[in-house]
Amino acid sequence: MKTPVASEPASHQQPELWRQLQWVAQVLLHIRSGVSGTAALEEVPLPLRPGVQSLAFAVLRQLGRAEALRALLAPRKPSPPADALLCTALALVWQEASAPYEVFTLVNQAVETAKRTPAMRAQANFINACLRRFLREREALVNATQNMPVARWNHPAWWIKRLQTDYPEQWQAILEANNRQAPMTLRVNARQTDSASYLQQLEAAGIAAHLSGASGITLNKATGVQNLPGFDAGWVSVQDAAAQMAAPLLLAGLPAGARVLDACAAPGGKTAHLLEMHDGEVTALDIDPERCQRIEGTLTRLGLQAQVLVGDAAHPKTWWDGRLYDAILLDAPCTASGIVRRHPDVRWLRRETDVAQLAQTQAALLKALWPLLKPGGRLLYCTCSVFKAEGDLQIQTFLAHNTQARKIPSVGHLLPKSTAIGDAVTDNQGIDHDGFYYALLEKSTV
């Protein structure tokens, strides 16, 4: 990623808003070119990163509306850098009540960004004219976009249609939840402490929080992990409440000493949770060597040990030692359509064709890993997706072709903001969580 060029050195005081907008537009530009938001934000200078991330997430959650407004203001699309800045500004100012700064300040600073950035300096007057016109004609322009689905819901048209098909009654609630900020939820390491005790530690540190599930705690306001008591000592991990359901589902009734495989394990959150709950042999597998190092780092901080292997779960012959597993966790690659509120760039990065392609990958992983499971053993299939092609439909197809497999009632499809569909586990209702899918499969002994 190329660094935006400023016309003067950075201040050592509070970062100027124009400089933050400069980086937000750069992040958007790279997301539009296919770079993940995480990778784009890693290029932002550390002093600027928190503010830029906050603004960038706000922009991504309103990008559909911003692009529709830009099309009305400038039917002839400007250059990519100028368009990124113009859409950034429109996303932040179109709802005056929720704007992060006073709207005239945002407009003035966006124009200042254009003037100070060589790639868009020649279009500074054009950007100024568009934004000033928007402020004058706000009501008419917003009304003109109100019936455009992409503008109304800030998701691609294909995504909206898929949710309408999958969830005829809940699709609007899913889209609305996706545009809200996700909570920061912690998983307490049961080998170190317990939820009630750690909640007291948080209270003593002045951090307001509440219990969330068997081993979860949700903070009333997100904070840096450096502020969490005992984080470096491994007392807690950051993990959404939906992801915390994996280990308890898989381990229920599993005897001590059982052999467990966590396939597609990076960055290691679910591996760690398995080890926090289970006294047995746990193997963590991932295809990416660098991501395996992240697993090792996660386990080291928590004081846990597992066999970490680099290998492709779809090709067991390259890494499997031939011993069957008592339990397998398959957290399969997916569209990540269930964690959009946490990663708002996902909706703009994904393409409609990705769903079928990823469904093929998931089917291949199920087919490859099922023979590695002992008779009587269990495989937990999960994805952080709300699309049924990656959940119920995937499992229905697998069951139709595997007579040895039976589905045990489990969670099924979880929608963001604690709505469950399918075989619901009632003790998890009312918890704020991401969208997810779980299916627990048991292998017959005959």
Rounded CA-CA distance 1/292 in Å is 25
Sign of CA dihedral 88, 93, 97, 99: positive
Question: Catalytic: 334?
Answer: no
* DSSP per-residue letters across 363-411: HHHHHHHGGGEEEEEEEEEEES---GGGTHHHHHHHHHH-TTEEEEEEE
Please state the φ and ψ torsions of residue 119, each to the nearest 5 degrees: -65, -15
Q: Which two three-digit tokens encode residue 140?
A: 């008419």
Contacts of 137 (CB under 8 A, 6+ apart): none
Contacts of 267 (CB under 8 A, 6+ apart): 291, 294, 295, 298
Q: If we measure between CA atoms, which residue out of 150, 148, 157, 153 comes closest to residue 177?
A: 153
Catalytic residue among 87, 292, 334, 384: 384
**Taking a C-beta distance cutoff of 8 angstroms, is the pair 416, 178 a contact?**
yes
What distances in angstroms separate CA 396 from CA 136, 263, 336, 400, 438, one per listed residue? 54, 21, 20, 6, 13
Q: Which residues are catalytic?
A: 384
